[in-house]
């Protein structure tokens, strides 16, 4: 069980990374929710095995990783930051480490940085986005966990993105054939769900 001081330190780290939390030393509902999303989005190669059990427990390894990530500009991987999946609505962060790892492979393929145009969207914000699917993989609507998707600047064709074998959902711009959306919905990377914009 984490002490009040340890919880405050973890809350300070989570705030620095980007979650809108109070630093009150109480491991309440919002703090536990942030810990769950921290673990869910941690995409570094040294991802602890117990990060797969998504609970809000603030054990020693979790506290150490929060502190290290907070001191490393909030990076959830070598080139991406947790805050890139922050909703423009409620300010919360949700992301899936599998989409981040896929984007690292995508980034290597394009040979330069990749901007996350849209990551997580809370339900209210998702409803305000023109053309957004009601049950979008970006959002936590319809029982989705949220943060399973990324919209990006279109640079690669469907064939190129599919060949990466990282994404199970791929949205394509019909006029150019370039990919604008990737996600990690339940499904197959060999036969991803596809659609056109």
Beta bridge partners of 146: none
The pLDDT value recorded for residue 130 is 87
- Render pLDDT for 17-68 as a digit per residue (tens, 0 to 9): 999 999 999 999 999 999 999 999 999 999 998 898 889 999 999 999 999 9
User: Using one digit for the tens of pLDDT, what is the confidence trace for 126-177?
Assistant: 999 988 888 999 999 999 999 999 999 999 999 999 999 999 999 999 999 9
DSSP 81-143: BGGGGB-TTT--B---HHHHHHHHHHHHHHTS----SB--B-HHHHHHSTT--TT-TTB-GGG
Give the pLDDT score at 50. Answer: 86
Q: What angle do CA 98, 182, 50 make, to 5 degrees?
A: 10
Contact indicator for 109, 127 with CB cutoff of 8 Å:
no
Query: What pLDDT shows up at residue 151?
Result: 97
Q: Which two tokens stand for residue 11?
A: 């809350």
188 forms bridges with which residues in the sheet? none
Per-residue confidence (pLDDT) for residue 80, from 0 to 100: 98
- Least Cα distance to 37 among 69, 6, 8 occurs for 69
Per-residue pLDDT reduced to its tens digit, 94-139 = 999 999 999 999 999 999 999 999 999 999 999 999 888 889 999 9
């Amino acid at each position: 069980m984490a002490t009040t001081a340890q919880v405050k330190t973890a809350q300070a780290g989570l705030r620095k990374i980007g979650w809108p939390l109070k630093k009150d030393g109480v491991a309440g509902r919002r703090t536990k929710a942030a810990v769950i999303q921290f673990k869910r989005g941690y995409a570094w190669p040294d991802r602890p095995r117990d990060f797969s059990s998504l609970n809000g427990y603030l054990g020693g390894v979790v506290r150490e990783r929060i502190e290290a990530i907070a001191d490393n500009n909030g990076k959830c991987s070598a080139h991406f930051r947790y805050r890139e999946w922050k909703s423009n609505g409620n300010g919360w962060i949700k992301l899936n480490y599998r989409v981040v790892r896929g984007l690292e492979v995508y980034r290597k393929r394009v040979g330069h940085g990749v901007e996350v145009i849209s990551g997580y969207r809370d339900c209210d914000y998702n409803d305000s986005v023109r053309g957004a699917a009601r049950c979008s993989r970006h959002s936590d609507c319809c029982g989705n966990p949220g943060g399973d998707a990324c919209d990006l600047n279109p640079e690669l064709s469907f064939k190129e993105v599919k060949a990466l074998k990282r994404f199970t959902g791929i949205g394509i711009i019909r006029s150019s054939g370039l990919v604008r959306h990737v996600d990690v919905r339940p499904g197959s990377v060999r036969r991803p769900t596809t659609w056109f914009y």
